[in-house]
Amino acid sequence: MTKPRIFIVEDEPIIAAFLEQCLADEGFECLGVADSFDQAKQEVLHGRPDLILLDINLGDGPDGIDLAHFVNQHINKPFLFVTSNTDSQTLERVKLTNPSGFIMKPFKKHDLITQIDLAWHAYQVRSVNTQVDFTSSVLASTHFFIKDKQKLVKLAYSDITYAEACDNYSILHTKDSKFVVSYSLKHVEAKLPAHEFLRVHRSYMVNISQISQINPKSLLLIDGKEIPVSEAHRSELLKRVNLF
Claim to verify: residue 184 and residue 144 sit in the same structural domain: yes
What mean pLDDT comes out for the span 110-130? 82
pLDDT on residue 50: 95
Q: Tell me, what CATH number does 204's domain have?
A: 2.40.50.1020
Give per-residue pLDDT as tens, 69-89: 999 888 889 999 999 988 999
Range of the domain at 175: 134-240
Is the pLDDT confidence value at 180 over 80? no
Whether residues 120 and 142 fall in one domain? no
pLDDT in tens, 125-140: 766 555 555 655 655 6
Q: What is the pLDDT of residue 132?
A: 59
Query: The whole model's pTM is what?
Result: 0.56
Q: Among residues 68, 96, 128, which one ends one of the domains?
A: 128
| Arithmetic mean of pLDDT, 197-207 | 95
Same domain? For 164 and 179 the reply is yes
Average pLDDT over every residue of 40-53: 94
**Contacts with 234 (C-beta within 8 Å, 6 or more apart), sequence order:** 200, 218
- 213 and 184 within one domain: yes
Closest C-alpha among 42, 87, 31, 93 to residue 64: 93
Residue 166 has pLDDT above 90, yes or no: no
CATH of the domain at 65: 3.40.50.2300
According to the model, what pLDDT value does residue 208 have?
95
**What's the confidence (pLDDT) of residue 130?**
54
Q: How many domains does the chain have?
A: 2
Same domain for 14 and 123, yes or no, is yes
